[in-house]
Amino acid sequence: MIDHLGINCTDYARSQKFYDVVLGVLGYTRQLDVGVAIGYGRDGKPTFWIADANAGEASGPNREVHVAFSAADRDQVQKFYDTAVELGAEPLHAPRFWPEYHPGYFGAFVRDPDGNNIEAVCHQA
């Protein structure tokens, strides 16, 4: 169900040190570092992200949470997006490939009624 989850950290440097150590105890390591966000996980797949709450347009104490739900294929991602928008969700990113994540990453993003960044994603070449 959950593909990955992201939280925002007000003291990003301190949070990096904290999560590097506590997640290391559980066998998780940094899988991807994009400067303002770091993804932790195993085997090349980041499943838990921390982000600098003071970076970007949505910075501040009420920055949204990010949750990505697993989709079976690109059609499901499209249906998720279309349905969410029909229900009044704010469109953030229409369904497309995101090669900066990995070549088969296909996702769509909307903002839910409470302002959270919700995504549907499938990982197909």
Is pTM beyond 0.85 here? no
Distance CA 117, CA 51 (A): 13
Same domain, 53 and 99: no
Boundary of a domain, candidates 38, 63, 88: 63
Same domain, 6 and 57: yes
Q: What is the pLDDT of residue 63?
A: 66
Q: What is the pLDDT of residue 124?
A: 87
What does the pLDDT profile of the chain (125 residues) look like in tens digits? Answer: 899 999 999 899 999 999 999 999 899 999 999 999 999 999 999 999 999 988 866 544 556 789 999 999 999 999 999 999 999 999 999 999 999 988 999 999 999 877 889 999 999 87
Which among 84, 123, 117, 107 has a CA at the least distance from the CA of 5? 117
Q: What is the pLDDT of residue 62?
A: 53
- Please count the structural domains in the chain: 2
Same domain, 94 and 123: yes
Same domain, 59 and 69: no
DSSP string, 23-77: HHHTT-EEEEE-SSEEEEEETTEEEEEEEETTSSTT-STTPPPEEEEE-SSHHHH
Q: What digits encode the pLDDT tens for the residues 36-60?
A: 999 999 999 999 999 998 886 654 4
Helix, strand, coil tally for the chain in percent (to 5):
20, 45, 35
Give me the domain span that covers residue 31: 1-63
Same domain, 72 and 59: no
Q: What is the pLDDT of residue 59?
A: 47
Name every residue whose Cβ is closer than 8 Å to that of residue 71 and which is 6 or more positions away in sequence.
77, 80, 120, 121, 122
Same domain, 45 and 82: no
CATH code, 124: 3.10.180.10
Same domain, 32 and 44: yes
Boundary of a domain, candidates 46, 63, 80: 63
Boundary of a domain, candidates 63, 79, 97: 63
Same domain, 51 and 8: yes
Q: What is the pLDDT of residue 60?
A: 47
